[in-house]
Chains A and B, each alone.
Chain A
Amino acid sequence: MKLLYSIVGLLFITALILEGVNIYLSNKISTDSIIASKLQARIDNADEQISALNSEVLKYSSYQVVSNRAMALGFQVTRNYISLYSPLQVAVSK
């Protein structure tokens, strides 16, 4: 009879401990989830800003914008090009 009580008692204590562990782990996972969610939100925000900056870089480096800006600043297309296709002596020693 005493052995029966001991077994039941042991099972009861084991169940109690396991339940305690279960509650702790579930709580921890939920807490980690909250932290992870906050981190994810910060990552998303950073991604948004990177994407916006990429769009700005593309916009300002497009030929349409560069040429319009150059024209507004007074740059002109030059039609006088000089290309050297054979060696040309540009300095001589005396």
Chain B
Amino acid sequence: MTYRITLIVGFFTIAYLALISRLFYWQVLRYADIKQIAAAQNSESITLPARRGSILASDDFKLATNKISYLLYANPKLVKDKDYLADKLSSLLDIPKASISAQLSKDLFWVKLANNLDMSSKDSIEGLRIKGLGFQENSLRYYPESSMAAQLVGFVGKDQNDQNRGYFGVEGYYDGQLKGRDGRLYVIHDALGNTILNEVREEKRIDGRDIALTIDRTIQYIAEKQLKDGLDQYEADGGSIVIMQPKTGKILAMASFPRFDPQKYYDFEGSFYKNPVISNLYEPGSTFKVLVMASAIDAGVVKPDTKCPICSQAVQIGEYKIKTWNDKYFPDTTMTEVLMHSDNTGMVYVGKQLGFNKFIQYLRSFGIGSLTGIDLEGETTGIIKDEKDWYPIDVATATFGQGISITPIQLITAVNAIANGGVLMKPYVVDHVITDEGKTIEVNPQIQQRPISEVSAKVMTEMMVNAVEKGEAKWTKLKNYKVAGKTGTAQIPVAGHYDPRNTLASFVGFFPADDPQITMLVLVDKPKKSIYGAETAAPIFFNTASEIINYYNIPPTY
């Protein structure tokens, strides 16, 4: 009897120990795994994607925003009549029937049929009531003005983790502000799959901030249209235009051709994405003369009526001979006339009077050789060589804009300092930022430095007005308006020498000269009809200026 009881007690003890061991195994040792499996069965984590902020023009029109698009997918195993479906989708979506049929013939549970569908297409497909089709909602970056200011706005592509990321321009520079932070929603379901509301836990999403630009959409449109018409007329390879507000440094318009469609950026080569205004280095040619002349005036080494004693013939510098652009020479020409005739020999004289150290010092104070700090992705800068690397011929050619590389944004920023009474402003494209809570963060104009005095700026302005009134571009100047400006016809360096056929024509200036409201730079790359800035870039400048004057209703000077 005792033996039997002992046996039974022993059996139950072992059984309980085995049970406890098993429970210990599942509940303690495998706790984490089991918890994960249970959580997967009854709970769900949903990503709440943050809305990417919009990019607005100064009139609050959205240059970049988001729109809902749909991805159409199918489960081929559920589609009964594949041929009928392929036929219908082909006619509705304008996709080859063969490509839809190929997708539907795959032995898969999920195949992608079309992407970026709008709501009307989705409604039409839903109207077919075909089993096995489904839609996935996506947010698509949308650029309502398509290619307008494309290089300035940039685009949204994918990074290496397949996440949206802004590239180039404002999209790239302000990506951190625009993208916001995704939220997460943790929900628990009951046995039937219904959400249990009191178990919902949420990590709040933070939407991206809206970026309001200084870009005036009307001026941008005018500038792009005039530039495009001009490039077509002069059969140029490309070109750029930048328009700035003198007193603040606000960029009102910035455009370049050829351009790309940010909506379909993947259809264009990478070189199209670059903004030539901030990324391309070029030799500025004669437009650079205004900076050198302004420096010499400010340093007091020349005056507008100072006569040039070396301008009667070509100037010999070591083994090199410096000629004027048209091989015409003007003995005893004044500094005002040097600028008017765009006289290279006169500029060599100005450079000599200024001296190498002051020449470099002034260039640096005008911002040449350093980044302007414009709030756009991809700005580059040319480097001013070390003092020991400058030869006399380098200094001589640099006075008329050869052998020195700058970006268009550096040139317009420097010339804008003359328009702004000698004060160099930092160029910028973002006027204010709007947070997801609706708070506005203003961006204020920034003074960089004062390269020249107010008096020197006034004197230089009058010399530039004279260059427009009596110089090579006088045929295209505006009636009744005083415009200060300078033409440029720069040679293009190619593999150690200058391209004998092609030039980079340009015109830089500001108006009305007495109280400047606009500073503008026009660049025309390799024009075929004429190689000169006075005959290509200048007319584009004045046509654009004329429309801006009407838009702003700027009163005539005389």
CB-contacts of A39-85 with B (<8 A): 48-49, 51-52, 54-55, 58-59, 61-64, 67, 79, 81, 83, 85
- A residues in contact (CB < 8 Å) with B: 26, 29-30, 32-34, 36-37, 48-49, 51-52, 54-55, 58-59, 61-64, 67, 79, 81, 83, 85
- Cβ of B330 under 8 Å from chain A: no
Kindly identify which residue among A33, A54, A61, A85 contacts B195, using a CB–CB cutoff of 8 Å: A33
CB–CB A33/B67 < 8 A: no
- Cβ of B146 under 8 Å from chain A: yes
- The prevalent SS among residues of B at the interface is mixed
Q: A30: which B residues are within 8 A, CB to CB?
A: 190, 192, 194, 196
CB distance from A92 to the nearest CB of B (A): 26
CB-contacts of B157-215 with A (<8 A): 190, 192, 194-198
Pairs A–B under 8 Å by Cβ, sample size 19: A29-B196, A30-B190, A30-B192, A33-B194, A33-B195, A36-B195, A48-B119, A49-B119, A51-B67, A55-B68, A58-B62, A58-B144, A61-B61, A62-B146, A63-B221, A67-B221, A81-B550, A83-B550, A83-B553
CB-contacts of B60-91 with A (<8 A): 61-62, 65-68
CB–CB A52/B197 < 8 A: no
Identify 8 new A-B residue pairs, CB closer than 8 A, beyond the known A36-B195, A52-B67, A55-B65: A30-B196, A33-B196, A34-B194, A36-B197, A49-B119, A55-B68, A64-B145, A85-B556
- Cβ of B148 under 8 Å from chain A: yes
CB distance from B480 to the nearest CB of A (A): 11
CA A51 to CA B137, docked complex, whole Å: 12
CB–CB A55/B148 < 8 A: no
CB–CB A63/B145 < 8 A: yes
CB–CB B194/A62 < 8 A: no
Q: B546: which A residues are within 8 A, CB to CB?
A: 79
- Cβ of B118 under 8 Å from chain A: yes
Q: B65: which A residues are within 8 A, CB to CB?
A: 54-55, 58
Q: How many A-B residue pairs have CB under 8 A?
A: 64
Q: A29: which B residues are within 8 A, CB to CB?
A: 196-198
CB–CB B556/A64 < 8 A: no
CA A37 to CA B197, docked complex, whole Å: 10
Q: A67: which B residues are within 8 A, CB to CB?
A: 221
- Cβ of B555 under 8 Å from chain A: yes
- Cβ of B272 under 8 Å from chain A: no
CB distance from A14 to the nearest CB of B (A): 23
* A33-B194, A58-B65, A83-B555 known; A52 vs B119 contact (CB < 8 Å): yes
